[in-house]
Chains A and B, each alone.
Chain A
Amino acid sequence: MEKSLPIPKNFSLSLLRSETARRLLAFGALIILIIAFSLLSENFLRFNNVIGIFIATAVNGVLALGVTFVIITGGIDLSIGTVMTFSAVMTGMFIAKWDMPIAVGVMGGILTGTLAGFTNGVLISWMRVPPFVATLGMMYVAKGLSLILSELRPIYFYDTPLFREIAMGNHFNIFGQSFDITYRGYDIPNAIWILFAAAIVGSFLLSKTILGRYTFALGSNAEATRLSGVKVNIWKTAVYTVCGTFAGLGGVLMASRLNSAQPALGQGYELDAIAAVVIGGTALTGGEGTILGTIIGAFVMSVLANGLRILSVPQEWQIVVTGAILVVVVYIDIVRRRQ
């Protein structure tokens, strides 16, 4: 049945006012940073540096992807940093301590994140623990468990050189078949492809599936969603589970990149991820947000860190600048929306 939809005159205008404009803002910030740094330092746009930026974005980007879902529902997940570490440690336990195949270790690591996220979801949905508190608790629990399991020492993957290839190699090795994915002779590490694949999956989930629809609905008006007969507890749990799964993937990537699981690492990563999401135009009040925005936000964070390092800005000042930029970008967005 063909039907024509009446298109109001201000339709494109309203579109511009909403998401597109928000995305352009973060994108604009990214472009400005790139131009500024490339003018200030000729090393900035060198191939190896660009690849370095991408690799640095991979872990934070994957974490940010997951937490985007949670933030759109109006919630928060503070546990993703240490859950990432916990997943990395679990991967290390599987592979290095218990001598399991790499695939088992990878799956085990990711599922560790899934389980942590699911636990968060159950606490928040059914037991009504506020997201901030539930995930704060999970943050500590995951951190503690990482330290206990690893006995406070990093777990190295020296015996399984293939593990490092997951993030840093430039080919996939599936069922003994090797797929080269070098591009015009340049080496592009897998971590970057994994980030983009994760982003595509995330974007698909958010915009095309029922899970995505309810993610937005929950953040927009949870009570109305409930009264519409949506089983909000289940979907909220699903959202936190998705977030945990991305954190698990982040943990595997992290372990692979460092060729070790570092149990003391992780705290603070959740805030970097949340910052990326916010820079990307997702409102902490819930109801709106995009995956593309989050990816751009993650790149803003890593370009900033990389550029300032190249310019030999002391690390403590890098942190100050990052904080300032975060607030400025969000403030500009508020001013723009007021108009």
Chain B
Amino acid sequence: MNKSITNSIRFVFFILLQLYLLDNFLFLDYINPYVYIIFILLLPISMSSIQVMLLSFLLGLTLDVFHNSGGVHAAACLVLGYFRPLALRNAFGVNFDFQTLKFYGEGFKPLLVYVSIMVGIHHLVMFSMEAFSLAYIPRILTNTLYSGIFSIALIILVIYFLKPSKK
């Protein structure tokens, strides 16, 4: 299927998934998984970094409109888009040369590292922006840690679920 159609569908799908399902999750008062960033994680590797950043910003802004949160998610996603090449290089190492990498061909460990770095960055920026004050640092860190663990687990599950079947 055409790449841009796949990505448009993912965009809408992950926003709705976040709004209808995951925003209603509540474990232990703190944990709220944010899985919609899979859209950014799975953008084509060949895409230029400016395109990635613009799409990330748009994704975050869309969620912000629903959450009444101004630019919290927009900022977090933008930072995520900016650091994506760095995270890819760190996680997939030498294989990261833009064209040849396949997310699923590299085994479990690089994928886990990639997802963890990205979720860590996103959650930290998002919770900091949401609190918008130094008074909440312990809360920002606990939120990042607990929600982060759940987000990482769910994101890896969903990524394997989306894996294209071999023909």
Q: Are the chains A and B members of one assembly? A: no
